[in-house]
């Protein structure tokens, strides 16, 4: 589990094709990897990946074709948001995030609004019912609060710190982003579906 509070921005520096996906090498100079062991989980732009190799400043992970199919930003070199998995007893600053991306959204608008930035994203239609005003959403691994919802479009506000400490400050219209809806919303939906079916 993760909190959606990005610890560092890293960079995918190499991708190597595999029979069933890709092997990624991620430069993580700003992330302390001293306590990371083989088999640990690190969220890479919101995608939970298993560490299969590491040095003092880099780690490697494998990504399946299925994960590549339903996410964005893992198939080429570029900057990524990084967060190590939560440990029991750690402070939960964002919201509970599983690192299992629900779908890919498209940035419709990214514009300065005073000191902040206004970000409007179009979510896949099947995810729209899970997104609520003042609810939580994860965009590329960043925990954010939804300010407005209209159909499948939603808006969030980025404070200056979030824009500068994550990759979200580099967004532009047309960019694809990884979305994970609120974990609780998914379970409530499942329970209601079972209740109505019965």
pLDDT tens per residue, range 14-27: 999 999 999 999 99
- 110 and 193, same domain (yes or no): yes
- 108 and 193, same domain (yes or no): yes
DSSP assignment letter at 127: G
Contact by Cβ (8 Å): 97, 45: no
Query: Cα separation of 41 and 132, whole Å?
Result: 29
DSSP-assigned beta bridge partners for residue 181: 137
In the predicted model, what is the mean pLDDT of the chain? 94
Query: Does the pLDDT value for residue 197 go beyond 80?
Result: no
Residue 63 belongs to a domain:
yes
Query: Cα separation of 12 and 119, whole Å?
Result: 24
Domain count, the chain: 2
Predicted confidence at residue 198, as pLDDT, reads: 60
Of 25, 55, 84, which residue is a domain's last? 84
Residue 3 belongs to a domain:
no
Here the tokens at position 73 are 């930003």
Q: What is the mean pLDDT of residues 54-75?
A: 97
The pLDDT-based confidence of 88 (bands split at 50, 70, 90) is: confident
pTM of the model: 0.94
Query: Does the pLDDT value for residue 132 go beyond 80?
Result: yes
Contact by Cβ (8 Å): 62, 50: yes
Domain range spanning residue 126?
103-197
Q: Which CATH number does the domain housing residue 110 bear?
A: 2.40.30.20
Largest CA distance in the chain: 54
């Amino acid at each position: 589990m993760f909190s959606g509070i990005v610890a560092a921005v890293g960079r995918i520096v190499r991708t190597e094709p595999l029979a069933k996906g890709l092997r990624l090498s991620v430069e993580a100079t700003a992330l302390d990897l001293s306590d990371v062991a083989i088999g640990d989980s690190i969220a890479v732009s919101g995608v939970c990946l298993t560490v299969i190799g590491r040095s003092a400043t880099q780690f490697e992970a494998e990504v399946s074709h299925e994960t590549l199919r339903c996410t964005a930003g893992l198939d080429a070199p570029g900057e990524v948001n990084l967060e190590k998995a939560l440990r029991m007893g750690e402070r939960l600053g964002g919201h509970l995030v599983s690192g299992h991306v629900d779908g890919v959204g498209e940035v419709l608008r990214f514009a300065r609004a005073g000191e902040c930035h206004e970000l409007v994203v179009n979510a896949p239609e099947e995810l729209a019912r899970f997104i609520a005003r003042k609810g939580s959403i994860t965009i590329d691994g960043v925990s954010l609060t939804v300010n407005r919802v209209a159909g499948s479009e939603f808006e969030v506000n980025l404070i200056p710190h979030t824009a500068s400490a994550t990759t979200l400050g580099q967004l532009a219209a047309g960019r694809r982003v990884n979305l994970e809806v609120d974990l609780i919303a998914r379970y409530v939906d499942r329970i209601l579906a079972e209740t109505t079916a019965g």
